[in-house]
Amino acid sequence: MTRTASASILLAALCLPFCTSASAAAGDDTINPDRPGIAETSKVVGKGRVQLETSVEWDRRRDDSSHQRTLASPTLLRVGFGESTELRFETDGRNIVHASDPATGQHTVTAGWADTEVGLKWQLRNAPDEQEGAPSLGVLLHAALPSGSRALRGHGLRPSLRLVAEWELPQGMSLGVMPGLGIDSDDDGARYGYGVLAASLGKEFSERLHGFVELAAPQIARAPHGGTQASFDTGLTWLLNKDCQLDVQLMHGLNHRSPDLSLAFGLSVRR
pTM: 0.86
Residue 8 backbone zone (phi > 0: left; psi -120 to 50: alpha; other: beta)? alpha
Domain boundaries, the chain: 3-270
pLDDT by residue for the chain (271 residues), tens only, comes to 545 444 444 444 455 555 654 333 334 489 999 999 999 999 999 999 999 999 999 999 987 777 899 999 999 999 999 899 999 999 999 999 999 888 788 899 999 999 999 999 999 988 665 566 789 999 999 999 999 999 899 999 999 999 999 999 999 999 999 999 999 998 777 899 999 999 999 999 999 999 999 999 999 999 989 899 999 999 999 999 999 999 999 999 999 889 999 999 999 999 9
- All residues at 6 or more sequence positions from 260 whose CB lies less than 8 Å from its CB, including other chains: 60, 61, 62, 252, 253
Please give the biggest Cα pair distance in the chain: 62
Residue 124 burial (CB < 10 Å; 0-12/13-18/19+)?
middle
Residues present in the chain in total: 271
CATH 2.40.160.40: does it fit domain 3-270? Answer: yes
Q: Residue 182's closest CA among 225, 230, 137? A: 225
